């Protein structure tokens, strides 16, 4: 994952999400088991803890909110104790409950998990029944539901449909969303346990797990393929979507676009003792936000996988904060940069060894090269005259900020790399992320190392690496006042005058 992933996650607070789906309450009852019950051969538990958490689409809402997005969660809850608890949990998280319609008839779907010494004993479900209940039952509430859909769709950046098949996302709701999507297309993510009902909705992506994908193909009258690519092709024949994203638990996700282009497997980081309750909700939340922020389907899926990968390290129904996801994205970026640098550095080292065998003298220098000016060109020409092959290492954006401050660089690392590589005196270029080029000098062992400025030998940060590698140090004076800092100062002065 690149720096772009970090930028996408940082943009999450600007995104407005319209989330519609089934709000569930998850309850965890924990107890200590000391003996068997006298009434039957079952453990007798002494209750030690009772925990409530948003479940189903409400967990998606909690994940979106934790990622600092603006979320409008439209759902239906019952006028009951579970509904009251769920509303309170959402309010505590800062989720506005104004879009939660309260229906007197169907009870709030409620999943109660009972644990003994941390081990699941039983799950007891209560309230509305999956695939049976239609919500809301009140005509006035149905009218309000459709009005809210119209309002929220018009004012959002991305739509998330989290359908646990408890009745909120009914056929009339799907038809309304289909008409809205055709009239004004927006990024739409569908996560449904009854995908066959969404055949005509023009969505951006659907996210079935492997079993759900196979079930949908079977409902379509075909034998589901075991091969991910063939299974994704089968789904595209059934659904009107741009992308199919088959989630594969610890194996990541398989992405396939509509059309002839092949699919892509995006692996995930393995997690020991993963807790998979709500992992799909965490994936859908970050995936949809990354799409809204302008991420590609692959970038967005990777960010979704990172979010789910953090969630499964937490016990029970959990959500991930934006800061946690930023840390994971930063770690992935740093690791990828190091790996890429190591690969490029090793290839360059091998290339330069061949140049040496041909009797060529290797000259090496490094710098930021932010705004190219006459001083840079003069310096590089002089450096090239000291040998036959000139290698230039460019500071990454991160190391430039470390050296020059938060306002730099002006140009991105890729732009700076491309500009320097295009200069006639330069033979090879590479990026580096450290504050000094000592490790590159130690690896490449250039014949000549060139530094610009008024350094003494001892003041050069790379002095030890130069001595160890046997390189000859040449310090070239800078030309007049030609420096990037001076150029920037003149530009600022002109803008202020």
In this structure, the answer to whether residues 64 and 77 fall within a common structural domain is yes
Q: How far is CA 387 from CA 283, 363, 445, 448, 449, in A?
A: 54, 6, 14, 8, 10
Q: What is the pLDDT of residue 492?
A: 46
In this structure, the answer to whether residues 312 and 375 fall within a common structural domain is no
Specify the 3-state DSSP secondary structure of 215. Answer: helix
Distance, in Å, from the CA atom of 209 to the CA atom of 428, rounded to the nearest integer, reads: 46
In this structure, the answer to whether residues 321 and 346 fall within a common structural domain is no
In this structure, the answer to whether residues 419 and 485 fall within a common structural domain is yes
Specify the 3-state DSSP secondary structure of 377. Answer: helix
In this structure, the answer to whether residues 285 and 351 fall within a common structural domain is no
In this structure, the answer to whether residues 186 and 42 fall within a common structural domain is yes
Q: What is the DSSP string of 425-487?
A: T--EEEEE-SSSSHHHHHHH--SEEEEESS--GGG-TTHHHHHHHTPEEEEEPP-TT--HHHH
Please check whether residue 114 is in contact with residue 121, taking contact to mean a CB–CB distance below 8 angstroms. yes
In this structure, the answer to whether residues 146 and 210 fall within a common structural domain is yes
Distance, in Å, from the CA atom of 356 to the CA atom of 362, rounded to the nearest integer, reads: 8
How many domains would you assign to the chain?
Answer: 2
In this structure, the answer to whether residues 209 and 224 fall within a common structural domain is yes
Question: Who's near 152: CB < 8 A, 6+ residues apart?
Answer: 18, 20, 72, 74, 99
Q: What is the pLDDT of residue 276?
A: 62
Q: What is the CATH number of the domain that holds 18?
A: 3.40.1190.20
Question: Who's near 392: CB < 8 A, 6+ residues apart?
Answer: 364, 365, 366, 367, 369, 380, 420, 426, 428, 429
Please check whether residue 475 is in contact with residue 451, taking contact to mean a CB–CB distance below 8 angstroms. yes
Token code pair at residue 56: 């189903």
In this structure, the answer to whether residues 347 and 323 fall within a common structural domain is no
Domain-ending residue, one of 288, 311, 337: 337
Domain-ending residue, one of 284, 303, 337: 337
Instruction: Spell out where 357-400 has E strands.
Output: 362-367, 389-395
In this structure, the answer to whether residues 24 and 164 fall within a common structural domain is yes
Q: What is the pLDDT of residue 322?
A: 92
User: CB-side exposure of 103: number of CA atoms within 13 Å?
Assistant: 26
Strands 428-432 and 389-395: parallel
Catalytic residue of the set 281, 306, 370, 447 = 281
Q: What is the pLDDT of residue 346?
A: 84
Q: Which residue has the tokens 């002089």?
A: 382
Domain with 319 in it: 1-337
Q: What is the CATH number of the domain that holds 373?
A: 3.40.50.620
Q: How far is CA 381 from CA 83, 385, 395, in A?
A: 74, 6, 20
pLDDT in tens, the chain (497 residues): 456 888 899 999 999 999 999 999 999 999 888 788 888 888 888 888 899 999 999 999 999 999 999 999 999 999 999 999 999 999 999 999 999 999 987 789 999 999 888 788 889 999 888 888 778 888 999 999 999 999 999 999 999 999 999 999 999 999 999 999 999 999 999 999 999 999 999 999 999 999 999 999 998 888 888 899 999 999 999 999 999 999 998 889 999 999 989 899 998 877 665 566 778 999 999 999 999 999 999 999 999 999 998 988 887 777 889 989 988 887 776 666 555 667 788 888 888 988 888 899 999 999 988 888 788 898 999 999 999 999 999 999 888 888 888 878 888 888 888 889 888 899 999 989 888 999 999 999 999 999 987 666 567 889 899 999 999 999 988 765 455 555 545 444 555 55
In this structure, the answer to whether residues 196 and 286 fall within a common structural domain is yes
Q: How far is CA 382 from CA 41, 361, 369, 483, in A?
A: 88, 14, 16, 16
Q: What is the pLDDT of residue 371?
A: 80
Longest pairwise C-alpha distance within the chain: 95
Distance, in Å, from the CA atom of 241 to the CA atom of 21, rounded to the nearest integer, reads: 19
281 a catalytic residue: yes
In this structure, the answer to whether residues 259 and 196 fall within a common structural domain is yes
Distance of CA 86 to the CA centre of its chain: 28
Q: What is the pLDDT of residue 486?
A: 55
Q: What is the pLDDT of residue 334?
A: 61
């Amino acid at each position: 994952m690149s720096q772009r992933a970090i930028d996408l996650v940082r943009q999450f607070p600007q995104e407005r999400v319209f989330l519609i789906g089934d709000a569930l309450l998850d309850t965890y009852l924990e107890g200590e088991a000391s003996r068997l019950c006298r009434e039957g051969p079952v453990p007798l538990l002494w209750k030690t803890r009772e925990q409530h958490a948003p479940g189903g689409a409400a967990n998606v809402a909690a994940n979106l909110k934790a990622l600092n997005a603006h979320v409008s969660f439209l759902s239906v809850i019952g006028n009951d104790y579970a509904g009251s608890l769920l509303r309170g949990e959402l309010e505590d998280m800062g989720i506005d409950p104004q879009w939660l319609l309260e229906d007197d008839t169907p009870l709030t779907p409620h999943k109660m998990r009972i644990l003994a010494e941390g081990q699941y004993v039983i799950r007891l479900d209560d309230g509305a029944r999956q695939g049976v209940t239609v919500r809301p039952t009140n005509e006035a509430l149905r009218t309000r539901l459709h009005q809210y859909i119209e309002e929220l769709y018009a004012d959002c950046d991305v739509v998330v449909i989290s359908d646990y098949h408890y009745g909120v996302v009914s056929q009339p709701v799907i038809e309304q969303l289909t008409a809205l999507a055709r009239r004004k297309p927006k990024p739409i993510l569908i996560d449904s346990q009854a995908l066959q009902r969404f055949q005509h909705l023009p969505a951006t992506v659907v996210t079935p797990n492997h079993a759900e994908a196979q079930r949908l193909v079977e409902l379509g009258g075909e034998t589901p393929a075991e091969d991910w690519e063939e299974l994704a092709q089968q789904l595209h024949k059934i659904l009107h979507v741009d992308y199919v994203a088959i989630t594969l638990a610890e194996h990541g996700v398989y992405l396939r676009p509509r059309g002839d282009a092949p699919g892509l497997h995006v692996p995930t980081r393995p997690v020991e003792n993963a807790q998979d309750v709500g992992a799909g909700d965490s994936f859908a939340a970050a995936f949809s936000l990354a799409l809204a922020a302008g991420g590609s389907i692959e970038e967005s899926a990777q960010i979704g996988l990172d979010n789910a990968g953090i969630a499964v390290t937490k016990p029970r129904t959990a959500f991930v904060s934006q800061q946690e996801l930023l840390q994971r994205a930063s770690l992935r970026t740093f690791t990828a940069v190091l790996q890429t640098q190591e690969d490029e550095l090793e290839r360059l080292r091998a290339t330069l060894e061949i140049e040496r065998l041909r009797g060529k003298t290797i000259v090496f220098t490094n710098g930021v090269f932010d705004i190219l000016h006459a001083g840079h060109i003069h310096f590089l020409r002089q450096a090239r005259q000291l040998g036959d092959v000139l290698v230039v290492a460019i500071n990454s954006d991160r190391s430039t900020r470390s050296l020059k401050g938060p306002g730099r660089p002006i140009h991105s690392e890729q732009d700076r790399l491309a500009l320097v590589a295009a200069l006639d005196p330069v033979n090879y270029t590479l990026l580096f992320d450290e504050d000094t080029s000592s490790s590159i000098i130690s690896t490449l062992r250039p014949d000549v190392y060139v530094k610009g400025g008024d350094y003494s030998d001892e003041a050069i940060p790379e002095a030890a690496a130069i001595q160890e590698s046997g390189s000859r140090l040449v310090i070239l004076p800078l030309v007049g006042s030609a420096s990037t800092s001076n150029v920037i100062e003149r530009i600022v002065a002109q803008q202020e005058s």
